[in-house]
């Protein structure tokens, strides 16, 4: 019990530490907190059941309930004090060790500091004091409401065969369906962040209920199927599991949830890390990227500056002895609005109830130059791309113009998938200015809408020359002299990305490790406690003629439950989490589904293998206890 808390506490620490990161880790804190409550109560109820006899004896020997309550109070006081202190210390030590090890293994550019704060320690102490308080009250109530004779027999008294509650079962399905539904129907990443927590919570509660009620249903159904039930292995294991299904269900649900967490945490972070190169390419399509921001007071200035800067950049490149390998540049204008009856209605900004659509307008010449296509457009025609592809009308009105639309694929940026977006390729730059005028008429105060430009280029040459160019471009276009431009070099960004993503990978693996340890402990504890419970049963059965092969067979048939069920359900959970996680991954710029699918499968298999090993070892322990 003590050990378990140690790991949980450590967990808590990490969580608290990373709570400065996004809400994602806040979820972690809550989940771990919830989990430790359930786990300690589960452990406690088991331990106290074994001690009933002892307490009953005290009662018979003349101790009053008052005294017993006192004994229990001091016992729990000392044990909780000891566990909290030892837990904090071990948490500190283990946390540092693990961080050191992982830092070493991952060879991170900057080591991640393992920091502890008084706040996190305080929160941990508060939580566990509360939990121990709860268990104490539960224990006292157990003994206060029972007479000594009952207590003496308490251990033999079987749990009543649980009645599978249909309501609970349906409720669990509803909760799961709701959680899954959130994940599947999530429209965009921003909504995903908000709803992720709710979905996780729903699925966790749903899982517990499903295991508690669903497993009883399945077991009862199996029991009623005489052909299956009346075989030695099934006979022993099914009835055994029905007998203490409540404990069993909670244990299995714990394992299942932990398994889901391991899989999601590890696979997403690995994906983020593997996808880093791709992410960089998405974010920075070229080695050198110059972004020009339009001047509010003189919008048309961009039309000349755009070409000037291109020439300047090329000149600078050649000055440094490099050749331009590829170059891409375009002007664009971005603004928000909503699609209403074939018209794009402007909105001033992002605020408002309905999330507006981001529209990016690009002149045709830049689009053709960028993609190498050869589109031609009449004055009232436009190329159209819509990220959700829900707008299917042939025409679209913007301001005082009406365009006939030709649909095209996303040739622009992966960011377009981020939120609902539209790209509109208009015949020439004058259209951008017209749209801007229309927009300004509606919102005279607005100062957001300008024509911007992007210039990206790859160069060929020696590393040294490239570095010089980076420095040169940096001083030329970043901040300083001209505040209307921004320069970013992919090389410079790369390091930053790797350190951030490395951090995520690190946290993912760390969490994965902790959850795996949690799984290990639960499985071990479950097997050992059931082993002691079943020992007598198996001895009786041996007397009436159960041989060792059959004991093996019956433990083997438990594998289906113990091993496959949590893994399968965890896999289902994760599959349903896929849409929402995918959306979340978009935030990190990962767009390659295959990478994530592959890592996902790899992690599931790896976890199944680890769990299989855990299971093998613990079932050996079980077998040796029973025998």
Partner 1 sequence: MTLLEIKNLKKIYTARFSNQQTEALAAVNFSVEEGELVSIMGESGSGKTTLLNIISTLDDATSGEVYLDGNPLSKIKNKEISAFRRNTLGFVFQDFNLLDNFTIKDNILLPLVLSKTPLAEMESRLMPIVRNLGIESHIDKFPYEVSGGQKQRVAVARALITQPKIILADEPTGALDSKASQNLMEILGGINESGQTILMVTHSTRAASFSKRVLFIRDGAVYHEIYRGDQSADEFMDRISDSLKVLSSRGERDE
Closer residue to partner 1 in complex, CB, 161/482:
161
Minimum Å gap between C-beta 153 and partner 1 is: 10
Closer residue to partner 1 in complex, CB, 303/542:
542
Phi, psi of 444 (to 5 degrees): -65, -25
Closer residue to partner 1 in complex, CB, 340/544:
544
Closer residue to partner 1 in complex, CB, 8/234:
234
Cβ contact 566:526 at 8 Å: no
Q: Sign of the CA dihedral 568, 573, 579, 581?
A: negative
Please list, in sequence order, all residues whose beta carbon lies within 8 angstroms of the beta carbon of residue 52, skipping any fewer than 6 positions away. 142, 146, 151, 152, 154, 155
Kindly state the helix (H) or strand (E) to which residue 376 belongs, with its residue range: none
Ramachandran quadrant class, 621 (left: phi over 0; alpha: psi -120 to 50; beta: rest): alpha
Minimum Å gap between C-beta 181 and partner 1 is: 38
Q: How many CB atoms lie within 10 A of CB 82?
A: 11
Minimum Å gap between C-beta 162 and partner 1 is: 12
Minimum Å gap between C-beta 609 and partner 1 is: 32
Q: What is the 3 state secondary structure string of 474-540?
A: HHHHCCCCCCCEEEEEHHHHHHHHHHHHHHHHHHHHHHHHHHHHHHHHHHHHHHHHHHHHHHHHHHH
Minimum Å gap between C-beta 548 and partner 1 is: 8
Closer residue to partner 1 in complex, CB, 223/291:
223
Minimum Å gap between C-beta 45 and partner 1 is: 18
Cβ contact 614:523 at 8 Å: yes
Minimum Å gap between C-beta 230 and partner 1 is: 5
Counting runs of H as helices and runs of E as strands, what totals does the chain give?
A: 20, 10
Please list, in sequence order, all residues whose beta carbon lies within 8 angstroms of the beta carbon of residue 248, skipping any fewer than 6 positions away. 215, 241, 526
Cβ contact 455:289 at 8 Å: yes
Closer residue to partner 1 in complex, CB, 62/158:
158
DSSP strand pairing (343-347 vs 357-363) = unpaired
Closer residue to partner 1 in complex, CB, 87/240:
240
Minimum Å gap between C-beta 172 and partner 1 is: 25
Closer residue to partner 1 in complex, CB, 232/579:
232
Minimum Å gap between C-beta 506 and partner 1 is: 47
Separation of alpha carbons 122 and 109, rounded Å: 32
Closer residue to partner 1 in complex, CB, 70/153:
153
Minimum Å gap between C-beta 235 and partner 1 is: 5
Please list, in sequence order, all residues whose beta carbon lies within 8 angstroms of the beta carbon of residue 87, skipping any fewer than 6 positions away. 2, 5, 6, 8, 9, 124, 128
Residues that bind partner 1 (CB under 8 A): 156-158, 161, 226-227, 230-232, 235, 239-240, 242-244, 537, 540-548, 550
Write b or e for each residue in 389-412: b if 16 or more Cβ atoms lie within 10 A of its Cβ, otherwise e: eebeeeebebbeeebebeebeebb
Closer residue to partner 1 in complex, CB, 163/543:
543
């Amino acid at each position: 019990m003590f050990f378990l808390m140690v790991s949980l506490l450590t967990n808590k620490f990490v969580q608290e530490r990373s709570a400065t990161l996004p809400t994602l880790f806040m979820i972690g804190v809550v989940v771990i907190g919830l989990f430790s409550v359930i786990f300690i109560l589960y452990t406690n109820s088991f331990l106290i059941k074994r001690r009933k006899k002892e307490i009953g004896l005290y009662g018979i020997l003349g101790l009053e309930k008052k005294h017993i309550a006192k004994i229990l109070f001091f016992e729990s006081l000392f044990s909780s004090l000891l566990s909290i202190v030892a837990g904090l210390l071990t948490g500190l030590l283990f946390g540092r060790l693990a961080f050191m090890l992982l830092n070493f293994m991952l060879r991170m550019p900057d080591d991640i500091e393992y920091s502890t704060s008084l706040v996190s320690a305080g929160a941990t102490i508060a939580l566990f004091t509360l939990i121990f308080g709860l268990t104490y009250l539960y224990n006292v109530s157990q003994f206060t409401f029972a007479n000594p004779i009952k207590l003496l027999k308490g251990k033999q008294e079987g749990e009543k065969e649980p009645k599978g509650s249909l309501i609970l079962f349906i409720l669990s399905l509803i909760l799961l369906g709701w959680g899954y539904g959130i994940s599947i129907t999530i429209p965009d990443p921003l909504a995903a962040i908000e709803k992720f927590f709710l979905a996780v919570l729903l699925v966790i509660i749903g899982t517990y209920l499903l295991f508690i009620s669903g497993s009883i249903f399945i077991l009862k159904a199996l029991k009623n199927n005489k052909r299956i039930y009346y075989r030695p292995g099934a006979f022993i294991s099914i009835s055994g599991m029905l007998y203490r299904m409540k404990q069993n269900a909670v244990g299995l649900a714990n394992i299942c949830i932990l398994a889901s967490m391991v899989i999601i945490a590890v696979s997403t972070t690995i994906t983020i890390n593997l996808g880093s190169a791709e992410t960089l390419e998405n974010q920075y399509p070229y080695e050198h990227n110059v972004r020009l921001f339009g001047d509010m007071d003189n919008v048309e200035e961009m039309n000349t500056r755009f070409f000037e800067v291109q020439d300047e950049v090329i000149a600078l490149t050649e000055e440094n002895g490099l050749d331009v390998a590829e170059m891409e540049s375009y002007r664009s204008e971005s603004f928000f609005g909503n699609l209403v009856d074939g018209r794009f209605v402007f909105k001033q900004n992002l605020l408002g109830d309905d999330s507006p659509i981001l529209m990016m307008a690009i002149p045709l010449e830049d689009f053709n130059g960028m993609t190498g296509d050869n589109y031609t457009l009449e004055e009232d025609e436009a190329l159209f791309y819509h990220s959700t592809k829900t707008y299917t009308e042939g025409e679209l009105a913007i301001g005082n113009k009406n365009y006939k639309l030709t649909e095209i694929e996303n040739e622009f940026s992966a960011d377009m998938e981020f939120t609902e977006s539209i790209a509109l390729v208009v015949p020439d730059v004058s259209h951008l200015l017209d749209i801007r005028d229309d927009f300004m008429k509606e919102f005279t105060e607005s100062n957001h809408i300008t024509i911007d430009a992007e210039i990206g280029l790859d160069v060929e040459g020696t590393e040294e020359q490239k570095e010089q160019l980076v420095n040169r471009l940096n001083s030329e276009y970043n901040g300083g002299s001209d505040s209307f431009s921004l320069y970013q070099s992919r090389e410079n960004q790369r390091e930053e990305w790797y350190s951030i993503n490395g951090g995520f990978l690190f946290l993912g693996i760390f969490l994965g490790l902790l959850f795996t340890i949690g799984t290990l402990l639960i499985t071990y504890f479950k097997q050992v406690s059931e082993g002691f419970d079943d020992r007598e049963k198996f001895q009786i059965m041996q007397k009436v003629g159960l041989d060792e092969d059959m004991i093996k067979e019956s433990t083997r048939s438990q594998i289906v439950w113990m091993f496959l069920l949590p893994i399968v359900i965890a896999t289902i959970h994760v599959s349903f989490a896929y849409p929402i996680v995918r959306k979340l991954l978009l935030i990190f710029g990962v767009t390659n589904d295959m990478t994530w699918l592959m890592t996902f499968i790899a992690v599931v298999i790896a976890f199944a293998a680890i769990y299989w090993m855990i299971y093998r070892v613990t079932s050996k322990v079980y077998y040796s206890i029973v025998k």
